[in-house]
Amino acid sequence: MNNYMTLKFKSVSENESLARMAVAAFVAPLDPSLDELADIKTSISEAVTNCIIHGYDNKPGIVELTAIIEDDLLTIKIADEGKGIGDIDQAREPLFTTKPELERSGMGFTIMESFMDTIQVISSRGQGTTVILTKKIRSAAINEYAI
């Protein structure tokens, strides 16, 4: 199966659940396990929240989400045109946050790395950030019989 979708939405926290549900519905034909689906949805939440809180500092902006299915591989791109990340390696360090006053845990990238097969972060100061996540979907029908 090969398919794709693109969704653009305002950078407000209410749209984080829209992004999660849109990708969950999009990937449903691959019959992901509940664990796979939870991993995908959590990773999307982290990436979209980063766009809203860090990319745009809770100011108006647009988040663009693209999901691509190629056979059993799901690729998700989440992008903003916000302020960008100065030091990507530092931002990916567990517990690092630029917003301690908001009680941010600094675990967003670590969570995405744990739940997805790959994560790539592309960012330029003043031009925004794109996070590319991939996950191979092993259908629930197949998972059910794997012991």
Tokens at 84, concatenated: 């960008």
Nearest to 108 by CA among 64, 44, 60, 56: 44
Q: Catalytic residue numbers?
A: 46, 50, 104
In angstroms, the CA 6 to CA 66 distance is 4
Nearest to 19 by CA among 32, 30, 10, 31: 10
20-50 CB burial, b ≥16 within 10 A, e <16:
bebbeebbeebbbbeebbebbbbbbbbbbbb
CB 78, CB 18: distance < 8 Å:
no
